[in-house]
Each structure stands twice: as C-alpha cells, then as structure tokens.
Structure 1
Amino acid sequence: MEFEQYHDASGAIVIPDRTTLVDFVEANVSAARQDPAQDGLIYRYMDYSKTRDGEVQELLWSQFGDRLYAIAARLQQVAEPGDRVAILAPQGLEYIVSFFAAIHAGLIAVPLFDPDEPGHHDRLHAVLGDCTPTVILTSTQSAAGVRKLFRELPARERPRTVAVDAIPDELGSGWVRPDLGADDIAYLQYTSGSTRVPAGVEITHRNVVTNVMQLFDGLGLSRASRGVTWLPLFHDMGLLTVILPAMGGATITVMSPRAFVQRPGRWVAQLAEAAGEGGVDGVFAAAPNFAFEHAARRGLPREGEPLDLSGVTSIINGSEPVTPASMRAFNEAFSPYGLAPTAIKPSYGMAEATLFVSSPRKDDEAIVIHVDRGDLNKGVMTVLDPAQVEGNDDAIPQVACGYVAPSQWATIVDANIDETTGEHDGTGRELPEGRVGEIWLHGTNVGGAYWDRPEESRATFGNTLTERLSQGSKTVREFGSVPEDGRWLRTGDYGAYVDGQLYITGRVKDLVIVAGRNHYPQDLENTAQDVSDALRPGFVAAFSVPANQLPIDARNGAEIAADDSSETLVLVGERAPGAGKADPGPIADAVRSAISARHGVTAQDVLLVPAGSIPRTSSGKIARRACKTAYVDGTLRGGHQQTAFPDLPTE
C-alpha cells in the first residue's frame, strides 16, 4: 500500500473511512509471505543486558506476522471489541508485537512499561485504574510483577495476565480479521502526568495513519529508510518510531533506554551500522534534547575506531525544549565522522496530536535566531541582527522547529482567559507572525478526546477561533482551510511564527509572573546554570510561589501577612556531581545577583537539593508544577528522592 494513493491533488492526506493501521500491516506481511524476496527484516533488538556488545534478536516480516496472529487470536478468545489491553513488558520485540497484536485483535492497546522497573508503581496504578484493562500482555519473566499489581483486588476484578512468549505460533490460524473503521480507537497514549493522574489520549486509526504519513513526508523517508531508537516504547515518540516501519515498510533497530544512558556510543554505532547497510535511503532517529549532549560527551568512538555517519539524514530533537548548545555539541563531536549539518531536526510534537507536528525539511539545517528578552516577555519576537547579539545579555536564542506537517494546521492564538478565575472560555483570536500566543492545532492526526474525561476533553480538544487574520492566516494552507466551526486543540504551549517557521517559547502554565512581568522559566533556569558549576545542568526549576505559602526559612525573617498572595520567584537546583558538600550560601548569592541583573527580578529563595530530588515527567522533562508542590509542602528541603514520576537514569 503506497502512501501516494492517500494524497489528493493538493497534497492533502485523505484516509478512507474503512482504512486502518491493520490494513497497512497486513499488506506488508502478505507481500512478504507471497514473495520471499520481500521477506526482509522489520525489527532488530539489541539486548545489552547480558553482554557489553549486545545480543542481536531479529524479526523478519513473516515471523512478525506469525507472532502477531498468534497473540491476536489469543486475545480474541478472552476479550471483546472495545476492551483495553495494557502492555506491561520489558523493552524488546515482545513488547512491539504485543502492541500490534492488541490492535489486530480489534481491541484498544494501552502501551505502558515493565512493572519490574523501579519507581513506576504509583503511575501504573493510576493509569490502570483509569483505563481498566481486561487483559495485560507481558512476558513470562515479568508476569509475577504484573500479578503483584492486582493482588489487593478481588479475583473477579483482576485483569487476565497473558505471557506472550508462552503463546505458540500455531494459535494464529484462529485469528479473525476485526471489523474496524478509521475512527475506531487504536490505542490510548497516556500523557506524562507530572501533577495529576495521567490522561489517556484516544488515538484513532485515522490519527495514527495520518501522522505516520506526515512523518514520512516531513522527514523525506521511504521504504528503504532505516531507523535506530532507544526511546521507551510507552512514550509517544518511542511508540511512533516502531509503528512507522510496520506501516511504511522500513526497518528499525531498537535498544533499551538504559543501554543508551549507560553507553550512548551504542546508539551512535548503530546509526552508523544502519547507514552502512546496502540500499539504505537514509537513517532516521529521534531523541530528547539531553541525549545529544550526553552522546557528544560520552559517545565518541575510541581513537582509531571507524565510524561513518554520512548516511544519517534525520535525527528528530524533540520531547523537551531544544537548546542550541546541545545541538552544537553533537555536531562538533560527530561532524568529523561524516555527520551532515542538516541531520539534527529540532521538532515539535505532542501526544494529543499522536506525535508529529513540525520539523525542518530533510535538507534544511536547524535555524537559531536571537530575540530581545524584554520584548519576548511582552509577547513579541523581535529578531536581533548578529551584530546585536555579541555581549548582549538580553539576546535570547530561539530554535526553529521547522514547518508544520502536511494536512495539519497550527495557529498562534490569544486565548480568552478570565483574569479573575483563570478559566478559559474555549475561544480565541488568531495572532500574526512575530506575536507570541498559545499554539492551537487542527488536523486528522489530532486526537478527539481523553479517555473517560468529557469535560477535560471539551476544554482541550473542542476550542474555536472567533477571529482569524484577513491576511497571512495559518488556518489556510495549500491543501485546504479549516472550517469556520472547526475544532482546535489547545496545546498549552506558547509559540510564534517567524518567516513561516514555528518557534516554541514555553508552557502556558509554567510562565512565571512576578510584579506584573512575565518571565519564561527556562530563561531564568539557564541564567542560574550559567552562574555556577555547582548546579547540575538541566536540573534547575524556576517557578513562582505566593508569599504566604513560602516556607518559614525562605522568608529571610520577614513578616508576611496571611492574606499576602503576591507571587515570589523561587529556584530549585540539583547539586552537580562533586558539589554535594559545597556551601550553598555563595552559590545562592551568585544566582540571585545574576537573576537580578539579567531579568530585573529578585529570587526570594534559591534552594540546592541532592541529585534526583526534582520531579520529572515520564518523558524526562522538568515537572515544575510538581516541584512547586514539593517545595511548598517541604518535601524538597528534606532531600526526598522522587519516585512517583521518575526520569530515565542519568548515570
């Protein structure tokens, strides 16, 4: 099934109402079974848990089909259409096949994580209670851990646990193709949930099929492309990287997040190996921003060891704010090994849009501009000339996230928010290029709701534009216009267009407002990190706290009235390696001085905490609101190590 047939004359992606993800997978499996020449490799898993060099596990298309049908047939014996099937298994081939098998059975897949991984139990219980799965797919080695999750429930309320590696291929003969349509739910993609129970985005077959085609178009991929990923498969970016080959016919090498973090050179070496395979039309990958700096610092080959990255064409840099420093470090480290300056693709995406929203084109280099800090805080992107940047503390770098994908619309909106209650009325007006506002999305890749949350769904997915630009409106593109009554997704992200490219400036709810002035938290955090090597890079959180909620020891002896709710600035930073015993006083003073000089605001408190204290989301982002909660209730001052929403291991 070639993707071209799903594009109309204008380039719009059009998915027929009876076309599903199952159709694309079936077409690829059938082609492999009918013609041995097409029975190539689809998934390769590099298992580094036992040996340093890794054990190779591979699935050909025909083998993938055999496992898929067997597990799907078993699911059809124990579940009904519409039931949820949670995948709780280690990263690996069994996880991937389980995900597709749930969908092939006509059920709703819920990709989660291995219950044996430490720190996930709070999140697992919250998500499982939300989606109430009928069946849990896992492996034999993880089955005991799965059963422990439900031991407190009465037996009749426990979901059935199925170890997929114990299912024989012969069972596949009983699989019955499900009766599905494009608008049926394929899977629930749970959001990070840093301060609340994670929400399950309902991703339909139309959503995911459209988004995979958008990825192919946006990154210039083909059936001959090869991928390499270490991203967790329960995360939207990790999941799409393994859906992409099953639908588009490409091949991908997978490893675990732990394997990458321990030795990032493994990822780099696999990129080179994939590029060196015969007939490859470019190598793609995706990673969050921290991974680029980590790989540049610890992933270089040994002296004299060969490494050729000239075949790597697209590495998405997404999931967390993109920094020029990380991109520069990666390019400088690996350009001597053939890495093209166009390889890194700063991109924007989110679970509510399935994943992919925007990226530079295949042959474009990443663009970094500098804007005036004062104007940015007022909602205006004033681009500075290069001559105005040198030595200018008010020059803020901004990274372009490229062009919005085909058949998708992204507009910048001044949302109507009640200044007294902070509530949004579901409407907004479009802003022109150069103005900062909330990013709103529309397209058939955008999910329609959160699972079993009608009010939250309406507030997020059901918004309307009351005023559009008469010229230059982003609601109009070459492949069509958004209807006047079209519904828009509020992303919760601030952004702006400059020269047609999308820039992300921060999260709406994270904006720090002190003394009536706006400050982006990441801007304050970067200033703090620049001041002292005692602060762990990437592990500083800035947020505002009402004066009457400040802990006693943060009030510096001042009397604060019980009704004084004026916002004050707080920064919390983890200590860098080797700085565990450093005197916090001089570090805090230096941070306060720099914040005052550069931003014109006083930091009420600068708190240093041990490594691992600051909450992060499951995708690794700083969870500022959760950090604020822990700060106010005193948890952070006790040196508490976070476990409820852990990030990837860092050492």
Structure 2
Amino acid sequence: MQPLTQISASAVPGLIARPGTGAHRRPAAPAPVSPEINYASLILAQLRRHPAQPCLVWPAADGSTSQHTSHDLLQRIATHRQQLLAAGVRPGHSVLLALPVSAELIAGLLAVQALGAVPVLPPAGASAWQLLQLTRCLGIRAVLTGPAASPLVRLAAGLCGVQLLAAVDRPLAAAVEGWEAWPVPAQQPALVSHSSGSTGQPKAIRRSHAVLQAQHAAIKAAFPPWQGQRDFPLFPNVLLHNLAAGVVSVLPAVPWHNLRQLNPARIVEQLQTEQIQTLTGNVAYFTALLAHLQQQPVALPHVVAVGVGGSPVPEPLAQQLRQAFGQAAVHIIYGSSEAEPIAVRQVTDDVPDPLAGYCVGPIQAGLEWRFELLGVLQGRATPGQPVGELWVRGAHVAAPSGEWLRTGDYGYVADGLLYLTGRQGNEQLHHGVQHYQLEHLLYHLPGVERAAARADAAGFTVFVQGTVPPASVAQLLAEQFPQVPVLGIQARATLPIDARHHSKILYSQLR
C-alpha cells in the first residue's frame, strides 16, 4: 500500500497512513541478545570522579537549604544498597519507592538501580487501593519508605505481604568504593513511573536501561551541559540526567504533593540567591512564576536558558517568559516519559499562527515518525492539511523493540515543524478543525486563564476559566472559525486538570 502523503523533515521521514491498516509498519525483527548495562553506572562514575563537587542543593520547609556533595550522595546510595541487600533484594526484583520527594528518594532510587533491581514510583496522589493494585500488578518485593510510613503504605504492604523497609534517615559508614552497579540486560526496566492520566487512569511507563541512557544522550545533544552548570529542574528525568552529566541540581522549593500551593516568591528568591543558570518547568509552574514577576519584577541575569513543557504551551506564555528572562533562550520542549524529547523549538519573535495549533518545533534527529491518518484540516491556517496521530520510535523511545509508540497526540508537520492539533479521547474533527486550534486561539484573548473545547458529535462545547466575558469568546471564535459549530460557551471557576503537571485538561470530566 502506498502512503497517502509523504512528508520530509530534518528527522527521519515520516508518513501519513490510513487508520487501522498498519501501512508501512515494518515487521518486528528477531530481538538481538541484549548487552548487559546499568544506567546507574553513569551516575556512580560521575559522582566518584568529582567527590567534593556539589551535586544536589535541597530546600527545607523552614527556608534553609542542604547541600549534598557527590560523596554525600554516594554514602546515602551505599547505605540504602546495604539495607536492600540485607533484605534480600536482588537483580530483577521490583521495589516500590514510597518516599517523599527528597535526597533520600534519589539515593534510594539509585541504590535499587545499582542492585539491578527495578525502582517503581507510584502515581501522583495514589490512593491505598492504587498502591495495593500496583504491588500486585508489578510483583513488588519490597517497599522502601520513610522512618514513619503512612497508613496507606502500611495497608498496601500488609495486604500484599511485601517487605516494608524504613529508609535510614542518615547515611551510615557504608563503603562508597569497592562495588559497582550490577550489569543487567539492556532491555530490563531501569525505572517504572506513571503517566499523568490525562486520558484515563495513570499507566505504568517502563523505561529500560538502554532507553534511559539514550534519553540522557538525546537531552545532552539538545541542551549541551557545561562544567559548573547550576540547573533548577522540576522534572525527575532532568534530575537523573543532571547527575549523569555532572550538572548541579538546585531543587525548587515547591510542595511536591500539590504544585498548586507553591510560593512563587520563594522560587524567585532561589533563582537569585542560588544564581540559577538554567531551569525547566511546566505551564502551571511558570504561570504562577510569571504572575509574581509581573507584580514584582526582578532582574535574573544569571538565567541563560528556560525550558517549558509537560503539556501544550500557549504562545503568549512562551513570549512572556522571554520578557521575564531577558538574557535567556526560551525553549518549548515536547515529549513524554516514554520519549523525551520528541521536538524542541526555540521561541523567537517569529510567532506562529495560533489557528494552526501548537508549534513545538522540528522533530529530533534520530527519531522515526509517522502519522496515522484521521482526516484533513480545513481551517483558515491549514487548508487541505492531512492530520493524524503521531507515532514515533527510536533508541530513546520506551516501546518494544521495533514497535511504534502511539503518542496520543494529533497533528502534522509543515515546513519541517511539528504542530499539535488534538489529544486522544477528544480528537474528533468538526469542519476540519480540532480542539487545540480553538483553545490556542483563546489563550491569546486577555482574561483567559484556561480554555478547553470538548468535541461532541455535533460540535464543540467551550469551557473557559478566567475573567473573560463569554461574549468575547463567542465573537473571537465566530470571526476566526466561522464554519465550526460551537454548541455553547461555559464559564467555570476552575477546569479539571491532571494531578501530575496540573496543566493538562481532563476532557472526560468537563461538565
């Protein structure tokens, strides 16, 4: 079968295929024998190479900070490794990490990895039932928890008969030398985390040691690190990358259990006092930070690069980041836990048309990509443009060997740039338009804090959060999308969002 449309880009060429046909799907080749590696070995080597160098700066609730050198972290890893060994944890065993976001969590994760076991991070805000299901489904052998385990964790461990290991709250005199990360098959899971659940229940994401190494290499190629770099990471994968790259990670003082309660004044203070040079975050995080900076502007001359992702990024937010961080290059980073990054775009004065969807830049070199055809866009900015679900595969994609990862995102590539126009579960076209195109337009309207267009059988129902009058929303949509059926416009005090990024709309919960 011939592809309906062939598209070229700086990455490996992609294609549009008819839905359900599997057009141009390559047959899976016999799986080669995996070499034995361990992602933790990269981090251990880096820590041992520079034992006196700070690697983590962690804020405390009282406003103080604790600085951890490479040697400090190595001691904590060695302590947890010794504890896990004594408990009988061996290569291939799964260990649930029920620790708060802290240096102990990082040390525990790396200790589990170093043993060749599989660290499992629970979903954000997991209930007792979810923890119980997790221990059963993933064959959890042990749960590493804090000195005072929560009742939920104790309940899940007791019901499933798994070992409950209270993490030692200070490093012991465990040897930091004389042992190495245990080599395991490259395709063995190195980390199990969970999706945000924006299109349903959070799903387990298994990244192998090979994939983690490839993701580290891909991030390093997109954003080359330098000696002494001081980074301010919000995303866990960036923190692991930093440890492998020798970058100092200064953790933002955020309430990790609920990012909506963050104090932006404290974040700005950290950016100044810690002389942060690079930072990443999601839309909710930067929205709160920008609101504070607009009220109390400060100079942040040390910041040279800003990355924003985790959900669709409205262009007005990206442009505001350029203004707030005047010396910094601002990048929109598109990807997922399974494939990070997929595309990167530097934000400039050349502002893309919001009617075209969200422009996220060129697809990264080394990724194979294709679109499973949904239909054809007919909007003013995209007449006759085929649109479909984006599928990717490559070394830094967590998918079975030779298989495609279905991203759940709909869009197209034009002039070498990837545009996102819709999300799985809400992807229905109406007069050749998808919901992201309406939403991105509305984010350019003053007074819109959040916007969502739910696709029903007859058209779109639009929900807005903010001070914008519904009449202004109706007028703008009628002007720019005159043929698109808008069934109603609903003003809401809040819109349902995911528990992880607090940025992704939960369309199934819109009422």
Conservation of the 8 A alpha-carbon contact between 1:87 and 1:111: yes
Aligned 1:276-295 pairs, distance under 5 A: 283-295=277-289
Aligned to 2:78: 69
| Equivalent of 1:213 in 199, 211, 217 | 217
Q: Give the C-alpha shift of residue 623 in structure 1.
A: 3.6
Conservation of the 8 A alpha-carbon contact between 2:123 and 2:194: no
Residue 620 (1) aligns with residue 511 (2): no
Residue 350 (1) aligns with residue 353 (2): no
Q: Give the C-alpha shift of residue 60 in structure 1.
A: 0.9
**Residue identity opposite 1:266 in structure 2:** R
Distance in 1, Cα, partners of 2:296 & 2:475:
42
Q: Percent identity?
A: 17
| Equivalent of 1:500 in 413, 416, 422 | 416
Conservation of the 8 A alpha-carbon contact between 2:215 and 2:341: yes
Aligned to 1:380: none
Q: Give the C-alpha shift of residue 251 in structure 1.
A: 0.9
Aligned to 1:255: 252
Distance in 1, Cα, partners of 2:171 & 2:476:
64
Change (3 A) 1:313 1:504: farther
The structure whose Rg is larger is 1
**Residue identity opposite 1:211 in structure 2:** Q
SS in 1 for 2:95: strand
CA RMSD of aligned residues (A): 3.4
Distance in 2, Cα, partners of 1:590 & 1:177:
60
Distance in 2, Cα, partners of 1:196 & 1:508:
10
Aligned 1:335-414 pairs, distance under 5 A: 335=326, 339-340=327-328, 343-353=329-339, 355-360=340-345, 365-366=347-348, 368-371=350-353, 396=355, 400-406=359-365, 408-414=366-372
Aligned to 1:324: 315
| Equivalent of 2:37 in 1, 4, 19 | 19
| Equivalent of 2:293 in 296, 299, 306 | 299
Q: Give the C-alpha shift of residue 178 in structure 1.
A: 2.2
Conservation of the 8 A alpha-carbon contact between 1:89 and 1:113: no
Q: Which string of whole-angstrom CA distances, capped at 9 and with x for unpartnered residues, describes residues 426-467 of structure 1?
A: xxxxxxx97543322121111125xxxxxxxxxxxx8xxxxx
Distance in 2, Cα, partners of 1:300 & 1:175:
51
Change (3 A) 1:197 1:293: closer
Aligned to 1:483: none
Using the size of structure 1 for normalisation, the TM-score is: 0.64
Change (3 A) 1:102 1:519: same
Change (3 A) 1:206 1:126: same
Aligned 1:187-226 pairs, distance under 5 A: 187-226=191-230
SS in 2 for 1:134: strand
Change (3 A) 1:500 1:136: same
Q: Which string of whole-angstrom CA distances, capped at 9 and with x for unpartnered residues, describes residues 280-306 of structure 1?
A: xxx322111233332222136957x7x
Aligned to 1:89: 99
**Residue identity opposite 2:293 in structure 1:** G
**Residue identity opposite 1:358 in structure 2:** A
Aligned 1:139-150 pairs, distance under 5 A: 139-150=146-157
Conservation of the 8 A alpha-carbon contact between 1:44 and 1:59: yes
Aligned to 1:165: 168
Change (3 A) 1:591 1:120: farther
SS in 1 for 2:119: strand
Q: Give the C-alpha shift of residue 205 in structure 1.
A: 0.8
Conservation of the 8 A alpha-carbon contact between 1:413 and 1:437: yes
SS in 2 for 1:567: coil
Conservation of the 8 A alpha-carbon contact between 1:44 and 1:254: yes
Conservation of the 8 A alpha-carbon contact between 1:143 and 1:161: no
Change (3 A) 1:196 1:289: closer
Q: Give the C-alpha shift of residue 241 in structure 1.
A: 1.4
Change (3 A) 1:326 1:84: same
Change (3 A) 1:606 1:542: same
Aligned to 2:23: none
**Residue identity opposite 2:337 in structure 1:** A
Distance in 2, Cα, partners of 1:284 & 1:521:
33
SS in 1 for 2:321: helix
Conservation of the 8 A alpha-carbon contact between 2:308 and 2:331: yes
Aligned to 1:437: 388
SS in 2 for 1:169: coil
Compare the two structures and name the one with the higher helix fraction. Answer: 1
Change (3 A) 1:160 1:67: same
Aligned to 2:438: 524
Change (3 A) 1:398 1:569: closer
Conservation of the 8 A alpha-carbon contact between 1:242 and 1:252: yes
**Residue identity opposite 2:508 in structure 1:** A
Aligned to 1:570: 461
Q: Give the C-alpha shift of residue 200 in structure 1.
A: 1.4
Residue 135 (1) aligns with residue 163 (2): no
Of the two structures, which has the highest relative contact order with CA contacts closer than 8 Å and spacing of 6 or more? 2
Gapped runs of 5+ residues in structure 1?
1-11, 33-37, 232-237, 277-282, 372-394, 418-432, 450-461, 463-485, 546-565, 580-586, 632-651
Aligned 1:23-34 pairs, distance under 5 A: 23-32=41-50
Change (3 A) 1:368 1:319: farther
Q: Give the C-alpha shift of residue 527 in structure 1.
A: 5.4
Q: How many residues align?
A: 465
Distance in 2, Cα, partners of 1:59 & 1:113:
27
Aligned to 1:553: none
Distance in 2, Cα, partners of 1:368 & 1:617:
33
Change (3 A) 1:525 1:61: same
Change (3 A) 1:398 1:609: closer
Distance in 1, Cα, partners of 2:242 & 2:477:
47
**Residue identity opposite 1:162 in structure 2:** L
Gapped runs of 5+ residues in structure 2?
1-11, 13-33, 376-383
Q: Give the C-alpha shift of residue 246 in structure 1.
A: 1.8
Q: Give the C-alpha shift of residue 273 in structure 1.
A: 4.2
Q: Give the C-alpha shift of residue 43 in structure 1.
A: 0.6
Q: Give the C-alpha shift of residue 61 in structure 1.
A: 0.8
198-207 or 141-150, larger mean C-alpha shift: 141-150
**Residue identity opposite 1:521 in structure 2:** H
**Residue identity opposite 1:165 in structure 2:** V
SS in 2 for 1:213: helix
**Residue identity opposite 1:315 in structure 2:** V
Residue 602 (1) aligns with residue 493 (2): no
131-140 or 96-105, larger mean C-alpha shift: 131-140
**Residue identity opposite 2:145 in structure 1:** T
Distance in 1, Cα, partners of 2:313 & 2:497:
20
Q: Give the C-alpha shift of residue 112 in structure 1.
A: 2.9
Conservation of the 8 A alpha-carbon contact between 2:280 and 2:307: yes
Aligned to 1:109: 119
Conservation of the 8 A alpha-carbon contact between 2:356 and 2:437: no
Distance in 2, Cα, partners of 1:159 & 1:598:
58
Change (3 A) 1:18 1:80: closer
